[in-house]
């Protein structure tokens, strides 16, 4: 790995590059928020960001710690109520990209953010859906950003919080959903896209210095690689500068280091 940037920075930069000026993006806290704001500060200044607290077209100067920090409201075009957010704007089909993560993902992009272990007697009780369940089915398409480990990229989810392409990759189509579902997974090791025939996520690009063996070790299913496997372009200097400035501003604003 190149010593001039971290795997986390590579992940955030790669996720940011997937967003364009015409996207209307529903943003979650954490890695998605960093990626979306990096995109806005670099190649996609007209990218529209929407947070589930009701802030439309928000342009935060620092990354919010919560989904409803005052910064989001103060820099937004307008702020609507939470019912309006979910009814008119999300359910109404006005969001082109939803960014999600989770504790577990399977090969078809289904996500678990509810429990590890059984639901009735969980080993780990996770926060739960929040907006994710309906974000997953109402946004035009879904990008997923997660750190890749064999414990999080699993053969079978303990619980399906948010539908990807379904337990066998076919259910989403069979249910007649009009939205595309998960179209991209960005990790600290690689990028994956669904095979159009099976909807199984396959590795399309390895970040520089990452071997296929390393990706296999960090994946709980028998992961496949695209025939024309690429190497992800490393972060450019301007991308790294913008991300580090953003993280430094954020850490100062929150009184403690919080960002990646």
Partner 1 sequence: MSVFVELREAVAQMVQDGDCVALEGFTHLIPFAAGHEIIRQGRRDLTLVRMTPDLLYDQMIGSGCATKLVFSWGGNPGVGSLHRLRDAVEQGWPQPLAIEEHSHAAMANAYVAGASGMPSAFFRGYRGSDLASVNPNIKFVPCPFTGESLACVPALRPDVTIVHAQQADRAGNVLVQGIVGVQKEAVLAAQRSIVTVEEVVDGFEGVGTNAVILPSWVVGAIAVVPGGAHPSYTHGYYSRDNAFYLAWDAIARDRERFQIWMREHVLGVGPDVFRDRAWPQAADER
Q: Which residues are catalytic, by number?
A: 52
Site residues for partner 1, window 215-254 (CB under 8 A)?
A: 253-254
Give the C-alpha separation, 68 to 73, whole Å.
8
One of 162, 187, 205, 247 touching partner 1 (CB under 8 A): 162
Give the count of residues interacting with partner 1 (CB under 8 A): 58
Helix (H) or strand (E) holding 216: helix 212-217
What is the DSSP code string of 40-92? HHTT-TT-EEEETTTEES---SS--SSTT-HHHHHTSSEE--HHHIIIIIIIT
Stretch that binds partner 1, among 80-88, 192-200, 223-231, 234-242 (CB under 8 A): 80-88
Give the C-alpha separation, 132 to 97, whole Å.
13
Closer to partner 1 by Cβ: residue 65 or 97:
65
Contact status: 138 vs partner 1 (CB under 8 A) = yes
One of 6, 20, 67, 183 touching partner 1 (CB under 8 A): 67
Collapsed DSSP state (helix, strand, coil) of residue 134:
helix
Least Å distance, CB 175 to partner 1, is 6
Closer to partner 1 by Cβ: residue 175 or 229:
175
Contact status: 166 vs partner 1 (CB under 8 A) = yes
Contact status: 4 vs partner 1 (CB under 8 A) = no
Stretch that binds partner 1, among 76-84, 144-152, 206-214, 215-223 (CB under 8 A): 76-84
Q: Tell me the chain's radius of gyration from C-alpha atoms.
A: 18
Alpha carbon separation from 249 to 47, 86, 88, 133, 244 (Å, rounded): 21, 30, 33, 32, 9
The three state secondary structure string of 83-101 is HHHHHHHHHCCCCCEEEEC
Least Å distance, CB 3 to partner 1, is 29
Closer to partner 1 by Cβ: residue 55 or 187:
55
- Burial class, 75, CB count within 10 angstroms (exposed 0-12 / middle 13-18 / buried 19+): middle
Contact status: 87 vs partner 1 (CB under 8 A) = yes
Contact status: 142 vs partner 1 (CB under 8 A) = no
Site residues for partner 1, window 88-127 (CB under 8 A)?
A: 90-91, 110, 114, 119, 122-127
Contact status: 83 vs partner 1 (CB under 8 A) = yes
**Residues 45/36, Cβ–Cβ less than 8 Å:** no
**Site residues (vs partner 1, CB under 8 A):** 29-30, 52-55, 64-70, 72-73, 79, 81-83, 85-87, 90-91, 110, 114, 119, 122-134, 136-138, 159-163, 166, 171-172, 175, 177, 253-256, 258
């Amino acid at each position: 790995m190149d010593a001039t940037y971290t795997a986390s920075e590579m992940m955030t930069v790669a996720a940011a590059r997937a967003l364009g000026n015409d996207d209307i993006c529903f943003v979650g806290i954490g890695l998605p928020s960093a990626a979306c704001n990096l995109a806005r500060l670099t190649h996609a200044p007209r990218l529209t960001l929407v947070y589930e607290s009701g802030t439309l077209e928000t342009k935060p100067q620092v990354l919010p710690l919560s989904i409803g920090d005052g910064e989001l409201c103060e820099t937004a075009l307008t702020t609507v109520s939470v019912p309006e957010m979910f009814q008119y704007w999300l359910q109404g089909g006005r969001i082109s990209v939803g960014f999600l993560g989770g504790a577990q993902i399977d090969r078809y992009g289904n996500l678990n953010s509810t429990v590890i272990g059984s639901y009735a007697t969980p080993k780990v009780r996770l926060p739960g859906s929040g907006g994710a369940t309906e974000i997953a089915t109402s946004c035009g398409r879904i990008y997923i950003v997660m750190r890749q480990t064999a414990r999080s990229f699993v053969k079978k989810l303990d619980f399906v919080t948010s539908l990807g392409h379904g337990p066998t990759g076919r259910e989403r189509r069979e249910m007649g959903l009009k939205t595309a579902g998960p179209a991209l997974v960005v990790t600290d090791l690689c990028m994956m896209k669904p095979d159009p025939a099976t909807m199984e996520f396959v590795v399309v690009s390895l970040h520089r210095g990452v071997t296929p063996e390393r990706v296999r070790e960090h994946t709980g299913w028998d992961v496949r690689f695209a025939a024309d496997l690429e190497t992800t372009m490393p972060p450019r200097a301007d991308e790294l500068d913008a991300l580090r400035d953003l993280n430094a501003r954020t850490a100062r604003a929150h009184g403690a280091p919080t960002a990646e």
